[in-house]
Each structure stands twice: as structure tokens, then as C-alpha cells.
Homo-oligomer: A and B are copies of this chain.
Amino acid sequence: MTLEAASALGIDVVVLAEGPEDSAVALAAAVQFGSPSSADALARLAAACDVVTFDHEQLDLRVLQALQDQGRAVHPGPVTLQVAVDKAAMRTTFAAAGIPVPAFAVAGQTVEARGADRVARMMAAVAAFGETYGWPLVLKAGRGGYDGRGVWPVAGPAEAVEVCRWADDHDAILLVEEHVTISTELAVLVARRAGGEMVVWPAVETSQSDGVCREVLAPGPVDPELADEAMMLAQVVAQTTELVGVMAVELFVTGGALVVNEVAARPHNSGHWTIEGSVTSQFENHLRAVLDLPLGDTALTAPHVACVNVFGAEDGSDPRDRLAGALGVAGAHVHLYGKQARPGRKLGHVTVCGADAGQVRARAWAAARALGSAGGTADVSRVTR
């Protein structure tokens, strides 16, 4: 989707791909093959480009730092990415900047030998946190990349000790957090240039099940004051993390107040609706931001926008063979990612824009279901964790 936006602007993109089956390869004018964690591969990429940017966060930040130290433009930079990939760094940085986050503590950050002693120290920290904030609580691996895993709600110390053992085995830091009762999940996209110019899109509601985003509604059907506050917080986050590019800031509404849950320092699933639903898409504004070009208008193109993800059907059929059903739904904008179809795999999304919130939502779900599985019913149950 970034390449589609780059094509319109006449921007040449060199893609670093792990293999020829990567979706971006089909559309890229120039491709290099290599690992995004390899210093050599990144040096070769940087030599071919004015700016290096990313569509994922599976990166070695030391390699990026070295690249930046050599004078290469890397956007977003390692400082921003550190916060995005390291939950402990994020919570600590945000709390210090006055950005509301769930009550938290970090356990196991001391470098020490593995084993029972480390597990005991971690458990002591977890238990102390439980004393203060009560049980249940949530344990999280300090660094993400575990594909939805790495988050454990624990009812009491007996469950917690299992997680501490896991963390010890995996050399992981643990983040200990209060259990937050979530009434709504919001996401706010923000784009920022190096000089500080920022634009923010309207706050959207996201619905997840099994840890995966199913549906995004723009604008989010929440109190306008809360939406404004979320948009303000996203800009504070962008400034605090020295963002250059696009960032998705995910927030929980809990007890009528907001806390920031996670950030992604790249165009994000919660912003795919912007391709048709906003004057400027997240992909175009990401390109503008990293190339230090003026940022585009983020207003909605219609009163309501719904975006529903498409997952592989149970029978393994390819959504490309099921296009007719989806395109028969009025106003359905279908995006397929060119990925190999597998049951349950995220393969695309559908966006519908219009004046009636219920109708755009129903149409987006109908088209997504025609293509495969939309992973639930239109009344997606909100998950608390």
C-alpha cells in the first residue's frame, strides 16, 4: 500500500525483502533481498536511497543506530523505534512525560544469572505490585514480536510464577501492569516531520478478538471530548518519541478516562481506512513525513467509514477467487495483499464510506465475509485483558 502511494507521487522505492514471496516485491521497481536485521543488507539499501524507512518493527536497533551515526537518514529513527518495540521503555518514557498509562512496574531488568534466584526476585516485584494494585494483574514480555503472544493475565501468584519462569528462560524483562477494564479501544494516527509539523487523523474505534484487529470505525463512536483528548495525546506521544513518519497510538478507555496502551511507528492496520476514508492516506503522509514534504489533510471524506479485515476462509480458498461477491456490495473498497491464502491468515481489508454508520458497517462486513472469513460477527465482542 505504501508502494501504491509512492507510485502516484512519482517516488522511487527500493524494497529490502526477505524473499520473492514478500507482497511488496510484485509492485517494487527495485528489490534487494536480505534480512532487515543485517548490517550489510541495510548498508546496501541505504546506499541506494535518500531515506530508509520501515513497514514493520522486526529490526535490530543497534544496526539502525550505526547507520544513523554514519549520516544516513533513518526515519523513524532508533529513538522512536525503541519506544515502539520495548514495552518497558515505552511505559517508562510515557510516564515520565505525563502521558497516562496503566499503573506498571518493570521486573527482571537487572542483568543477572538465570535461575531460581532471578525468578524469585521477579516474583517479589510482581507480588509487591499485586499488594498495591490488587489481583488479577497483567504480565507482559518487555519486548514484543511474539505475534499476539507475550501477554498473560494472571489471577494470582501461582499463575504469575509460571510467567516469571518463562521470562527467565527467554532472558526477557517482565512488565507488570494493573488489570484495566476496557470499555472501548481507540487508535489515533499521527504523522510528524522532522521540524515538528504534525497532522493527526480523527480517533477511531478498533475491535479486536483473539488479540487481532477485526474492525475499525471512523470516527470512533465515543464522546467527542474523549476523542479530542486522544488526538491530543497522540501528538504528545509523537513529540515525546521524536517521531518522523506515521505512528499509530492505541488507547484504552477505562472508567471514562484514557490510557495509552501501545504504539506502532509505521503505517498500521488501524489506519488502512485512510486510503479512501481520509483526504490523505496514512501511506502517503508517511512518505511525505520521511521525505520532509508538507503533510496532507487528514479530514474524513465521508461522515462514517468502516474498515473490516479479511482473513483466509476455512476452506483455504483464495479471496481473489471470491472477488465477485465482495465487489457486488455497494461502495466496497477491496484491498488484497497478495499473500498466500491460509485459513485465518489476514489477507486484506474492505473499507466502506458513507453517511449512515450502520449501513457502512454492514456493507464492510458483508464484503469481508464474501472474500473469506471476517473473523467474527458484526457485533464483535470487546475483549478485556
Contacts and interface: CB of A to CB of B under 8 A. Distances in A.
A327 B4 contact: no
As for how many copies of this chain the complex holds, the number is: 2
A336 B27 contact: no
A319 interface: yes
Contacts of A11: 320
Interface of A: 1, 3-4, 7-12, 25-27, 29, 279, 288, 293-294, 296-297, 301-302, 319-320, 323-324, 327-328, 330-338, 348, 353
A297 to B, nearest CB: 5
Contacts of A334: 8-9
Contact of A348 (B10, B302, B327): B10
A90 B335 CA distance: 38
Given A293-B324, A324-B293, A324-B294, A8 B331 contact: no
Contacts of A319: 10
A296 B10 contact: no
A293 B10 contact: no
A132 B323 CA distance: 55
Contacts of A332: 296
B327 A293 contact: yes
Contacts of A353: 279, 301
A348 B11 CA distance: 13
A333 B275 CA distance: 12
